Amino acid sequence: MPAPIIKPHRRPVVVPGFDPRSQPLVALDPLPDLPSQALQLDFMRSAFGQPVQWQVEPLFRSSFHPDFLPGSVNIRAAVCIGVTQRPDGPSIIFTRRATHLHNHAGQISFPGGRIEPSDVGPVEAALRETQEEIGIEPRFVRYLGQHPIFVTSTQFAMRPIIGELQAGFTVVPDSAEVAEVFEVPLSVLLDPQRHQLHHAILPDGTQRQYFSIPWGPYFIWGATAVLVRNLYHHLSAAWNQLSAGGDARR
Q: pTM for the whole thing?
A: 0.89
DSSP 143-193: EEEE--EEE-TTSEEEEEEEEEEPTT------TTTEEEEEEEEHHHHT-GG
> How many CA atoms are closer than 13 Å to the CA of 49, on its beta-carbon side?
12
pLDDT at 204: 84
**Rounded to an integer, what is the distance from CA 196 to the centroid of its chain?**
16
Whether the per-residue pLDDT at 246 is higher than 70: the answer is: no
Map 107-133 to HEC letters. Answer: CEECCEEECCCCCCCHHHHHHHHHHHH
Q: What is the pLDDT of residue 9?
A: 38
Within 8 A by CB and 6+ apart from 249, the residues are: 37, 40, 42, 43, 46
Does 2 have pLDDT greater than 50? Answer: no
Task: Give the Cβ contact number of residue 190 at 10 Å.
Answer: 23
> Over the stretch 185-243, which tens digit does the pLDDT of each residue have?
999 999 999 999 999 998 888 899 999 999 999 999 999 999 999 999 999 999 999 98
- CA torsion sign, 130 to 34 to 85 to 184? positive
pLDDT band, residue 57 (cuts 50/70/90): very high
CA torsion sign, 172 to 176 to 179 to 184? negative
Q: Domains in the chain, ordered, with CATH?
A: 25-242 (3.90.79.10)
In whole angstroms, what separates CA 54 from the centre of its chain? Answer: 17
Q: Which of 148-152, 200-204, 242-246 is least confident?
A: 242-246
Tens of pLDDT, residues 107-140? 899 999 999 999 999 999 999 999 999 999 999 9
Predicted pLDDT of residue 243: 86
**Residue 94 to residue 103: CA distance in whole angstroms:** 16
Residue 1 has pLDDT above 90, yes or no: no
Per-residue pLDDT tens over the stretch 63-85: 999 999 999 999 999 999 999 99
Distance CA 77, CA 160 (A): 9
- The predicted-structure confidence for 5-50, as pLDDT tens digits, reads as follows 333 334 444 456 789 999 999 999 999 999 999 999 999 999 999 9
Q: Mean per-residue pLDDT for 154-163? A: 96
Q: In what order do the strands lie in the sheet with 25-26?
A: 25-26, 196-201, 207-215, 218-221
